[in-house]
A = this chain, B = another copy of it.
Amino acid sequence: MSLGRLDNFIGFRLRRIQNYLSSAFTAESVALGLRPGEFSALAVIAANPGVSQGTLAREVGLDKSAAVAVIDDLERLRLAERRRLTADRRRHALYVTGDGEAALDRLFAKLETVERDVLNALSPDDLQVLSSLLDRIYHSCFRQDA
């Protein structure tokens, strides 16, 4: 089976590698009761304690209505919690619980294992180069951040 012209595009190779990484990781994620996307939401809350739902949604690429379901789920699992802000009672500030931090430790450990397996074709120097090339692309695309 040939991929033909598709094979000339970097985006196609990015997608194949990324699909592989994420399917390997998803198994660990669902083992903790998390659906795809909930892990990154939890990680972003952990990195930004008190973040609002709207800001989180924008950052993770979710619709604000989809964010409701994600946070409902995280609360149900006692991994994160909403706290109504007194300053602006429309807003919820989001925080990760102790259980949430423990889950993140476990998930990040798995993520490291998965990446190590997939990236073991490259030397540490190669990885450094790859990382810096991706950074340069990333920053040229997303420099206009909020």
Residues of A within 8 A of B (CB): 1-6, 9-22, 25, 40, 43-44, 46-48, 51, 55, 59, 61, 104, 108, 111-112, 114-115, 118-122, 126-127, 129-131, 133-142, 145-146
Contacts and interface: CB of A to CB of B under 8 A. Distances in A.
B130 A118 contact: no
Interface of A is mostly: helix
When all copies of this chain in the complex are counted, the total is 2
Given A3-B44, A5-B43, A17-B137, A10 B119 contact: yes
A134 to B, nearest CB: 5
B140 A121 contact: yes
A44 B1 contact: yes
Given A1-B55, A19-B61, 19 more contacts: A2-B48, A3-B59, A4-B46, A5-B47, A5-B104, A6-B40, A10-B127, A11-B21, A11-B114, A13-B135, A14-B17, A14-B134, A20-B142, A118-B141, A121-B137, A121-B139, A122-B136, A130-B133, A133-B133
